[in-house]
Amino acid sequence: MAEETIFSKIIRQEIPTELLYQDELVTAFRDISPRAPSHILIVPNILIPTINDVESEHELTLGRMVVVAKKLAVEEGIADDGYRLIFNCNQHGGQEVYHIHMHLLGGKPLGPMLAV
């Protein structure tokens, strides 16, 4: 079993954080180190450490994450100009917290996908 993360505590509101969205499957809140004017994290309420740990029973939760991202993009006023959704996986993918999370970024031109 994976260890608890800071996101687990945010989901349970043990760490006070303004939640932008929460239901029985997912929770969304602003990134504490934003990389764009709008930078929101959308996390499953259950601990799934990496994308490599996703199983077929997680499909509803991952789908909900995308639907919530669309809703929040509209609320943030970034849907029409565009936004980016990112999952990082493991060290080479840039994952820092081992509780999967989707980054919703927008509010300015984001440039090329990768700076190589």
DSSP state of 19: E
Q: Letter for the amino acid at 68?
A: V
Q: Kindly list the domain boundaries of the chain, sorted by start residue.
A: 24-106
Tens of pLDDT, residue by residue over 76-100, are: 999 999 999 999 999 999 999 999 9
CA distance 103 to 84: 8
Give which of 116, 115, 101, 103 is closest to 34, Cα–Cα: 103
**What residues are labeled active site?**
101
CA distance 20 to 42: 9
Candidates 3.30.428.10, 3.40.50.740, 3.40.30.10, 3.20.20.140; CATH matching 24-106: 3.30.428.10
DSSP state of 88: -
pTM for the model: 0.94
Supply the pLDDT for residue 34: 96
* Helical H segments across 36-93, by residue range: 59-76
